Amino acid sequence: MAEESTNAGRVVLVTGANRGIGRAIAERFVAGGDRVATIYRSGDLPDGVLGVVADVTDTAAVDAAFTTIEAELGPVEVLVANAGVTRDQLLMRMSDEEFESVIDVNLTGTFRCVRRASKGMIRMRRGRIILISSVVGLYGGAGQVNYSASKAALVGMARSITRELGGRGITANVVAPGFIDTAMTAELPPERQAAYKAAIPAGRFAQPDEVAGVVQFLASADAGYISGAVVPVDGGLGMGH
């Protein structure tokens, strides 16, 4: 059996912790006593978070950022792959570049981080990988062929990691948020926001911290036997996935 980790004092890496959901996740782990780092592109960070600037589309930059974080804090035990983008466009008008750029951040960017993190986790014989997907991954979204495909693919990724590394004390899970109050949803036209709220059984969007609490649970000792799961945080929007 893998050595059990305590809940606090671990090295936690959250990508994109400068704003939105990633910021709320990083704040949660800091409050829980973990040593938190982020790979981020811009902006400011919450207190207590070690930031290394890197773009997740750049393999060498991601690898170097991990090396810096490991040197400063130690091996990454919890990886939260949160960085993500949307570039909505109707299918017929979507360019290769609009499709590929979203895949490069949301899917390949996650892969780059997971691959690098797995080295230390395998050595430690423990680790928690949490991939931030979206309700849209399995529910679909008009104008979101690129985004939805990138987010659905994270389910296959987490389940393959579970099969490959589950015997080494490593879990991999997907969190699928619904509509969360961040810059990403603020961009939606008011009439679309109203239509979404009408379709959500909870009747509201969520706050980023409501996602952060679920992520923190999946990284906790209590969640040690949960792997390959897709955990919705969507007010009931995606029921039946």
Distance CA 196, CA 5 (A): 40
In the set 139, 147, 196, 225, the catalytic residue is 147
196 is catalytic: no
Q: Which is nearer to ligand NDP, 127 or 177 (CB)?
A: 177
Binding mask 133-162 for ligand NDP (x = CB under 6 A): -x----------------------------
Contact between 232 and ligand NDP (CB under 6 A)? no
Tokens of 178: 């619904």
- The least distance separating ligand NDP from the CB of residue 133, rounded to whole angstroms, comes to 7
The one-letter code for the residue type at 171 is T
Question: What is the per-residue DSSP string for 129-158?
Answer: EEEE--HHHHH--TT-HHHHHHHHHHHHHH
Nearest alpha-carbon partner for 32 in 207, 172, 221: 221
Q: Which is nearer to ligand NDP, 43 or 167 (CB)?
A: 43
Binding mask 81-120 for ligand NDP (x = CB under 6 A): -xxxx-------------------x---x-----------
E strand segments, the chain: 11-15, 35-40, 49-53, 78-81, 127-132, 170-177, 230-233
Q: Which residue has the tokens 């994109």?
A: 16
Binding mask 25-44 for ligand NDP (x = CB under 6 A): ---------------xxxx-
* Binds ligand NDP by CB under 6 A, chosen from 51, 127, 177, 238: 177
| Residues with a known catalytic role | 147
